Chain A
Amino acid sequence: DGGITQSPKYLFRKEGQNVTLSCEQNLNHDAMYWYRQDPGQGLRLIYYSQIVNDFQKGDIAEGYSVSREKKESFPLTVTSAQKNPTAFYLCASTFGWTGTEAFFGQGTRLTVV
């Protein structure tokens, strides 16, 4: 079945550590996105990528980094520079560069311990 797979489902990070969240899609979608979700707020865009080896900062990119070496994969690294990383992270993809229907993965809940 086609879809977007995020892993792990739950992730715990110690202060000062970098962690990487995985996002893989087999929908042949061109564009991929990372969003952060906090209680009571709309999704906020961290990074997006329209094509392999290219990505753009979203509204809250500070403390995060991404790569897009393959069309299917868009991993997100939460660095130690992100001061408040505890959140639910969602990966999404759209067909084409200007796709208007975003499809989401199951999410990764990151907790700082």
Chain B
Amino acid sequence: GQQLNQSPQSMFIQEGEDVSMNCTSSSIFNTWLWYKQDPGEGPVLLIALYKAGELTSNGRLTAQFGITRKDSFLNISASIPSDVGIYFCAGHDNYGQNFVFGPGTRLSVLP
């Protein structure tokens, strides 16, 4: 079946640093989504991307839909302690009911 790969698997950064993580797929998607999940909670949608090459921002977060439609990246600028959590990417082909989720990148922010 379809799979998404996320890298890095985990990262430790200092408060105030910028963060970059990416998501790659062996298949083409027409929609890319980025979610953040706090421990013991459900994922919260951060950014949705609908067009190849699209660059979208949400506050300190910026995400891009790769030109090949097989990848996406998420940047977080000037990290703060509440950025701690697991960041998931998801792809959707816009036709079926199938969202494909990556395994997540676990972010830790050190004071």
Contacts and interface: CB of A to CB of B under 8 A. Distances in A.
B1 to A, nearest CB: 7
Residue from A35, A41, A101 whose CB has the most chain B CB atoms within 10 Å: A101
Given A42-B4, A59-B1, A102-B90, A109 B99 contact: no
A2 B48 CA distance: 20
A48 B92 CA distance: 15
Interface residues of B, number: 28
Interface string A35-67: 100001111010010100000100100000000
Contacts of A20: none
B69 to A, nearest CB: 14
B4 A98 contact: no
Interface stretch (B56-64, B70-78, B100-108): B100-108
B94 interface: yes
Contacts of B1: 59
A26 to B, nearest CB: 16
B40 A107 contact: yes
A74 interface: no
A34 interface: no
A98 B42 contact: no
Interface string A3-35: 010100000000000000000000000010101
A103 B45 CA distance: 7
Nearest to B9: A40
A9 B97 CA distance: 26
Interface of A: 4, 6, 31, 33, 35, 40-43, 45, 48, 50, 56, 59, 90, 97-98, 100-107, 109
9 contacts: A33-B97, A42-B102, A42-B104, A43-B88, A45-B99, A98-B97, A101-B33, A106-B41, A107-B42
Given A33-B99, A106-B42, A107-B42, 10 more contacts: A4-B42, A31-B97, A42-B102, A42-B103, A43-B99, A45-B99, A98-B94, A100-B31, A102-B45, A105-B42
Interface of B: 1, 3-4, 30-31, 33, 35, 40-45, 48, 50, 88, 90, 92, 94-95, 97-104
